[in-house]
Amino acid sequence: MKILVLNSGSSSIKFKLYHANESDDQFHALCEGQADRIGIDGSTLAYERGDEGKEKQFIALPDHKHAIDEILKQLIDPETGVLESLEDLGGVGHRVVHGGEDFTGSVVIDREVIKAIERNSMLAPLHNPPNLMGIKAMASLLPFMPQVAVFDTAIHQSMPKKAYMYALPLAQYKTYKIRKYGFHGTSHGYVANKAAEELGKELKDLKIITCHLGNGGSLAAFMGGVSVDTSMGFTPLDGIIMGTRSGTLDPYVPLHIMESQELKPSQVSTMMNKQGGLLAISGKSDMRDNVESAAAGDADCQMAIEMFCYSIQKYIGSYAAAMNGVDCIVFTAGVGENNPMLRDKILENFTFLGLEVDKAKNDANETVLTTEASKVVALKIHTNEELVIALDTYNLIK
Ligand SMILES: Nc1ncnc2c1ncn2[C@@H]1O[C@H](COP(=O)(O)OP(=O)(O)O)[C@@H](O)[C@H]1O
Ligand SMILES: CC(=O)OP(=O)(O)O
Ligand SMILES: [Mg+2]
C-alpha cells in the first residue's frame, strides 16, 4: 500500500511517500521533499527519489494551496515522479496541529472530524487552516481516498493535571476547555524514544528534555515514559521565542494593548502570531538569515539570537527542576538539527549540571554532542514525524 504523508508547518510542507509492505508491515520511502519558505521571498521545492540525488528548484509558493498543487504534480511527473496517477495511493496521512480535547489519538477523517478540526482552528490559526487545506485539496482530487489525521496534541494528554491546568476559575476549563494542550507531540515522542534507544535504556527509566526547534518550537519533559510538561500551551503561541511568534508574555500585555491602542483581538493575535518573535526583533523570521546577518555584525540579529537561546535555557532549567534531574537533552527540527553554534550557546549554561559539550562532535552534527565524562547527555536526533504519521495511517486503514 502506498501512503502519502503531508506535514504542513507554518512555513513549510514536508511530504513523504511510503510503500508499506502488507506481508510484513515494513515501510520504505519512495520519495520525499519539502516546500520551504512558503509565503516568504525565495521559496523552494525540494524533491528526492531513493535512487537519485536531491533536486531543489526556486518556485513561487505564495501559500499552502499552491505548494500542495506543486507537490502532487511532482509525484506524478512522467520523468521524475514515482506514481502513474494519484489513484495509486492507498491513503493519505496528515499532520493536524490542534485536536483540542476532541482527539486523544489518530483518526480516519470524515465530515465530523473535519468539523472538529475547523472548530479548533481558532486555537491554532497558523496551522489548522493549512492542515485543512491539505485535507480538502486531497478530498476534492480523490474523494474516495481514505485520509487520516495525526494530532500534535495527542501525546501530551499524559500531562498531570498540575501541569495542564491554568489558575483560572474552574468553569474556564470545564465549560470552555481552556487548558494547556501542548504541540509537536509526534516529534517529541519520536525523538524521546530514539534517545532512549541511543542510550540503550528504557524510556520509562529516563528523564529527558526534548527541544523541537523549527520555525515554531517547543520543549517537552519526559519522565516515566510519558510527556509530563511542555512549553506550548492552549495554543502554539506560548513558550519559547519563535520565527514569528512572541512566545510567553505577561498575560496582561495583549489586554493592555487592546485597551490602550483600541485594537481588536484579531489584530493583536496577528501581532503576536505573525509579527512577533525573531521577525519582531531583527526583521528576519528565518533563523538561517538571522545567523548569517549576526555573523556579519548585525546587532538586531545578534539580539534575536540572544533572546531565542535565553528563552530556551529557561525552559530547560525549569524542566530539570520539575523532574528533579535530567539525563538527556535532545535537539531536533530545522534549527536543533543543523546549527552547532546555537546548540552550543544554549548548552553553555548547563555546566552547573555537569554537562560538557564535545565541541568537535557538536560541530560535526554528530548524534552524541557531549563528552564521555558529561553527566547529562545531549543528543541531536533527526525527527521523523512523517514515519509516525505513515504508521498510524496504515494501521487505521489497512
Ligand atoms: N543550518 C541552520 N542554521 C540555523 N537555522 C536553520 C538551519 N537550517 C534550518 N534552519 C532553520 O530551521 C527552521 C525551519 O525548521 P523546520 O523544522 O523545517 O520548521 P517548521 O516545520 O516549523 O516550518 C527555519 O527557521 C530555518 O532557518
Ligand atoms: C505547532 C507548531 O508550532 O508547528 P510548526 O513548528 O510546524 O510551526
Ligand atoms: Mg515542523
Average pLDDT for 298-323? 98
Q: Residue 143's pLDDT band (boundaries 50, 70, 90)?
A: confident
Written in H, E and C, the secondary structure of 275-326 is CCHHHHHHCCCCHHHHHHHHHCCCHHHHHHHHHHHHHHHHHHHHHHHHCCCC
Question: pLDDT grade, residue 304 (50/70/90)?
Answer: very high
Residue 172 counted as domain residue:
no
d(C-alpha 48, C-alpha 53), whole Å: 6
Q: Which three cell numbers stand for residue 251?
A: 498575560
Last residue of a domain, one of 151, 168, 183: 151
63 within domain boundaries = yes
pLDDT at 80: 86
Q: What is the pLDDT at residue 5?
A: 96
User: What per-residue confidence (pLDDT) applies to 377?
Assistant: 98
Mean pLDDT of 332-347: 98
Q: Are residues 131 and 223 in the same domain?
A: no
Whose CA is closest to 336, among 190, 207, 196, 216?
216
Residues 220, 348 within the same domain? yes
Q: Are residues 243 and 322 in the same domain?
A: yes
Q: Is 293 a domain residue?
A: yes
Model confidence at 141: pLDDT above 90 = no
Q: Is the CB of 233 under 6 A from ligand 2?
A: no
Beta strands, E only, the chain: 2-8, 13-21, 26-36, 44-49, 54-58, 91-96, 107-108, 147-151, 208-213, 217-223, 226-230, 328-332, 377-380
What residue has cell string 523541537? 212
The CATH number of the domain where 105 resides is what?
3.30.420.40
268 and 141 housed in the same domain: no
pLDDT (average), residues 163-168: 98
The answer on 355 and 265 residing in a single domain is: yes
**If you take atom 18 of ligand 1, which residue's CA is the nearest one?**
334
What is the percentage of the chain residues whose pLDDT exceeds 70?
100
Residue 360 in domain: yes
- Those residues whose C-beta lies under 8 Å from the C-beta of residue 364, and which sit 6 or more positions away, are none
Pocket test for ligand 1, best of 16, 288, 309 (most atoms within 8 A of CB): 288
Give domain status of residue 260, yes or no.
yes
Residue-level pLDDT at 244: 96
pLDDT at 152 over 90: yes
Answer for the pair 156, 220: CB distance below 8 angstroms, yes or no.
Answer: yes
Mean pLDDT of the chain: 94
Assess whether 222 and 365 both reside in one domain. Answer: yes
With b for 16 or more beta-carbon neighbours within 10 A and e for fewer, the 7-45 pattern comes to bbbbbbbbbbbbbbeeeeeeeebbbbbbbbbbeeeebbb
Residue 368 DSSP label: B
Ligand 2 atom 3 nearest Cα: 216
Domain count, the chain: 2
What range does the domain containing 304 cover? 201-380
Q: Please give the average per-residue pLDDT across 96-124, as a whole number.
A: 91
Kindly state the cell numbers that stand for 361: 562532535
Q: Is 290 annotated as a binding residue?
A: no
Residues 140 and 205 in one domain: no
Same domain, 118 and 217: no
Q: Around ion ligand 3, which residues have CB less than 5 A away? A: 9, 214
In the 8-state DSSP scheme, what is residue 152?
T
Kindly state whether residue 188 falls inside one of the protein's structural domains: no
User: Does one domain contain both 348 and 213?
Assistant: yes
Whether residue 234 is contained in a domain is answered as yes
Q: What are phi and psi of 14, to 5 degrees?
A: -95, 140
Same domain, 128 and 243: no
Q: Same domain, yes or no, for 11 and 129?
A: yes
Cβ(189) – ligand 2 distance below 6 Å: no
Same domain, 255 and 108: no
Question: pLDDT tens digit string along 313-333?
Answer: 999 999 999 999 999 999 999
335 labelled as ligand-binding? yes
For residue 169, being part of any structural domain is answered with: no
Helix-helix angle 252-261:265-274, to 10 degrees: 130
Residue 22 has pLDDT above 90, yes or no: no
For ligand 1, atom 22, the nearest C-alpha belongs to 215
